[in-house]
Structure 1
C-alpha cells in the first residue's frame, strides 16, 4: 500500500503540471483517491473524516472537516474551577489511530464574578499562536468584558505544560509540515487544530450561559491562520478576527522555507488542503483582518491577497502601523472587541475607509465613522528589497474633512510601492484602508 501511495503521489505531481487536469472535475476526484490511500497507510481510515469527493465546491475542501461530527457537542470533563475560570478536557479527533483529548479554559461574566443570573452572553473562541498555549488570562479578559470565552491548547498539553495522556500532535514544524509526507492528511497538525477549534465552538454553544446565535472567533499568528480556516468552514460564527495570520504560506518570508523542503508533490498537497486561501473565498461570516505593516511572518503581498478573497461586504481591514508580534500584542487591540460588540450589542461600529482615489499630486479616501476622527495619516514605502520586518516606512499627516467625510494628503514625490491610510477616532479605535500596491488598491 505504501508503494501504491508513492506511485499515486508521483502521478499526481505530474498531472498537476497539465493544464487540462486542473479542472474542477478531476482535482477533487483524484485528491479523494490520494486521501483514501493516505488513510490506509496505517490502517486507520477514521470514521470522523468525511472527505471531499462529494462535498467539494469549486476546489474547496470544506467537507474534509466533517460537520456531522464537529458540529455536535464533544464529550468533556471538568477538571476544576479556580479564580472564576474552569479548566476542562474535551474529546477531539483521532491521531495515529488513537482518540485524543484537548485541554481548555472556560469562563463567563457570571462565573468570573462568582454570581448567578439569568443572562446569556455572546461567546468567543480563542486560538493561540506558535509557542503559545491555552491562556487563562485571555479567557479572563473576555469574561470581564461581557463574553463567555474558551481558549484551547494546540500542543497536546495541559494548563501546566505537561503532555496529556491522550494528546494529539505537538505544534512543531514536523507536525505542521513534514507529517503530510509521512501518513494520512488527518495526522497533520492543521487538521487537528481546525477540528479541535470547531469542537470547542460546539462545546461553547451548548453551554447554558451562551447565546448560541452570537458567537465569534479570534486567533493570533498561527491562531490567526487557523481563524481564517475555521471562520470559513464553520458558518455558525457571527464574525472572525484573525490577527497577523493569513494565507498563501508559500509566499511567506518565513513559512515558505518549511514548505519548500517538502518534495514529491507534498508542498502542493499541503497548500491544497491546509492553506487558508483555499477556504477564504467560501466564507460567509464577517471578517476583520488585523496586522502590522512590518510583520515578520505575514508580509504585505500574501496578506493583501488573503483578505481580498473575502467578499467586500464581509471584510474589514485594520493595518496598525509598526504593530509588534506577540500574544499580548495580538489580544490587546480595541478593534477586536469593538467589532464584536457592534454585532453582539449594537454598539457603535468601527470607523472604515474606502474609495481610495489617486489624482495629480494627491491621494484621498472616503471614510465612515460614528465617532469624530482624532487623526489620520498615510503610510508608505518604496523599499521592495528588504524583508517585510526590515522594510523602511514613512508617514505623512492626512487632512480630515468632516463635511465631505474624506481624508487626503499630498502624493509622495518619490512615489511608493506600498501604502495605506490609517485613522483613529476619539475612542482610540482605529481603522485602515486596504493596501495600495504599485498604484492600485489590493
Structure 2
C-alpha cells in the first residue's frame, strides 16, 4: 500500500511539474543562436509586455503595449487586435485560435483591415505601428523612432546601435508575439508571422530570433541589402565602419541560419527593392523553406497581403494540411533540359506550367526583361520539362498554377547553359 502511495505521489509530482512547465511564459530558446554580439535580450522580450486597451468595442480592438527604450526613454506601441470570436461579435469561448503577427513595411502603419482580414479567415491577429504613431497618424505619448531613412541607416553613426529603427522594430515585433501568446484564446503552438517589404525584412530577422513561431512568410523583403538596387545607396552613404556595423547587426543574412520556423518566401521577379540575386541568396540561407515567385507581382501593402498563397501556406503550416501546394521534390538541369519533379498532392491538379527566364544583366531588377513560354507536363512521371534556351539563362523559374488558382514555383535557378 505504501508503495502504491509513493507511486501516486511521484505521478502527482510529475503532473504538477508538467503543468508548471506548460503554464510558465513561452520562452525563446537561445541555445542555437551562436553570436557574441546579439543586440536583443531575447529572454526579456519573451515576457508579455504591459499593455492597456484603448478601444474594446467593435470587430477590431486597439491597444498600447510597452516596448524597449529609445534614446534612454521608455516607449509604447499602438496595435490592432482581433480574433474570429470578436470579429463575429460572439463572446469568447474555449476555442483556441492560431495567431499571427502582422508587420507593415515602409510608409505603413498598424493596418486595421489587415487584422480584420485574418480574423475573418480564422486567425487571431495583431498588427502594430512601428513608427511611433497611433490610429490617427499622430504620435503616441511615448513613441519610438520614426521609420525614416535617417533612423534606419544614418542613426548608426551616432554610436548607439539600440537607437537604430531596426532594433526597435524587431523588439516590438517579438513583444507583439509575446503579448499574443499571453492571451488565453491563442494556441501557443500555432503562431506565425508575416510582413511586407520592410516588414518582410523584419520577418526574416524576427523569425530567425524568435523560435516560438511555427511559420513565417516574408513578402518581398530579404537579406543582403548592400546588393539591393535601392538600399545599397543609403548603405554606401555610411562610413566604412557604419556600413560594416549595419550589415553585421541589421542585415537578415546575419540571422537566417538560425531560423527554425517553416519559411515561405514570396516575391515577384521584377521587384524594385528586392532583386533576384540577393533574393536567391537569402532563400538559400534558410533550411526549412518554400519559395513562391509570382510573375510581375506589384509592390504595395495591399498587393503584399492579397496573394491567396499566403493564406494557403498558413492554413497548411498552422492548421494541419501538410502539402497545400503543388511543389517540387527536385529541380535539375541535365541533357539541355530543365527538369522539375512534382510532389504528389492529393486533390491538386495542374492547370498550367510556364518557364520564365532572363539573360538581361544590364537593367535594374524592376526593368529586367524576362521571356516566358509554356512548359511540358509529363503526367506519367509527374514532372515538368523545358529545353534550356540556346543562349542559356542568367535566372529562371518554373511557375505553376493548380485548378484552384494557387501558384507553385521552383526557387530561382541561376546560370543555366546548353552543354
Q: Give yes or no for TM over 0.5.
A: yes
Alpha-carbon distance, 1:182 to partner = 1.2
Give the deviation of 1:264 after TM superposition: 4.3
1:70 and 2:45 are equivalent in the alignment: yes
| 1:353 counterpart = 2:325 | no
Counterpart of 1:212 (choices 174, 184, 188) is 188
Q: C-alpha deviations, 1:24-77, integer Å up to 9, x for none? A: xxxxxxxxxxxxxxxxxxxxxxxxxxxxxx98955474x421122100010001
- Residue 275 of structure 2, aligned match among 280, 299, 307: 299
- Find the partner of 1:88 among 63, 70, 83: 63
Query: In 2, distance between residues paired with 1:75 and 1:301?
Result: 42
Once the 2 structures are TM-superposed, how far is the Cα of residue 218 of structure 1 from its aligned partner? Answer: 0.2
Q: Which moved more, 1:244-253 or 1:79-88?
A: 79-88
Compared with structure 1, are the counterparts of its residues 55 and 65 closer, same or farther at alpha carbon in structure 2 (3 Å cutoff)? farther
TM-score (norm 1): 0.84
1:24 counterpart residue number: none
Q: 1:133 aligns with which of 109, 113, 122?
A: 109
Distance in 2 (alpha carbons) for counterparts of 1:171 and 1:328:
19
Q: Secondary structure at the match of 2:206?
A: helix
- Alignment pair present for 1:255 and 2:221: no
- 2:175 paired residue among 164, 189, 199: 199
Structure 1 position 221 matched with structure 2 position 194: no
Counterpart check, 1:424 vs 2:398: no
Contact 1:60–1:282 (8 Å) recurs in 2? no
1:286 maps to 2:262: yes
Unaligned runs of 5+ in 1: 1-53
Residues 213, 238 of structure 1: 8 Å contact kept: yes
Contact 1:378/1:396 (<8 A) preserved: yes
Taking the aligned partners of 1:72 and 1:228, their CA distance within structure 2 comes to 21
Per the alignment, residue 22 of structure 2 pairs with: none
CA distance in 1, matches of 2:33, 2:111: 36
SS in 2 for 1:284: coil
Spell out the pairing of 1:82-121 with structure 2 (5 A cutoff). Answer: 82-116=57-91, 117-121=93-97
For 1:57 and 1:211, locate their aligned partners in 2 and report how far apart those are by CA, in whole Å.
Answer: 25
Q: TM-score, normalised by structure 2?
A: 0.89
Q: Residue 216 of structure 1: SS of its match in structure 2? A: strand
Matched, 1:324 2:298: yes
Structure 2: which 5+ runs fail to align?
1-29
- Structure 2 counterpart of 1:368, from 339, 343, 348: 343
Q: CA deviation at 1:266?
A: 0.6
Q: Partners of 1:74 and 1:115 in 2: how far apart?
A: 26
Counterpart Cα distance in 2 of 1:332 and 1:187:
33
Q: How many residues align?
A: 384
Distance in 1 (alpha carbons) for counterparts of 2:49 and 2:184: 15
Query: Which residue number corresponds to residue 361 of structure 2?
Result: 384
Distance 1:364 1:60 in 2: 43
**How far apart are 1:333 and its partner, in Å?**
1.1
Aligned to 1:344: 318
Aligned to 1:168, which of 137, 144, 152?
144
Is the 8 Å Cα contact of residues 60 and 278 (structure 1) preserved in structure 2?
no
CA contact (8 A) 1:373 1:423 kept: yes
Structure 2: distance between partners of 1:201 and 1:64: 18
How much has 1:358 moved relative to structure 2? 2.0
- The equivalences for 1:147-166 within 5 A come to 147-166=123-142
Query: Is 2:412 the counterpart of 1:438?
Result: no
Q: Does 1:276 align with 2:274?
A: no
Offset of residue 369 of structure 1: 4.5
Alpha-carbon distance between aligned partners in 2 of 1:167 and 1:350, rounded to the nearest angstrom: 41
1:60–1:279: 8 Å Cα contact kept in structure 2?
Answer: no
SS of the residue 1:379 aligns to: strand
* Separation (CA, whole Å) in 1 of partners of 2:335 and 2:89: 62
SS at match of 2:362: coil
Counterparts of 2:241 and 2:250, CA distance in 1:
14
Q: Tell me: CA distance 1:359–1:55, structure 2 relative to 1, closer, same or farther (3 Å).
A: closer
- Taking a change above 3 Å as real, the CA distance of residues 264 and 227 of structure 1, as seen in their structure-2 partners, is same
Q: Does the CA-based 8 Å contact 2:33-2:209 persist in structure 1?
A: no
* Cα root mean square deviation, aligned: 1.5
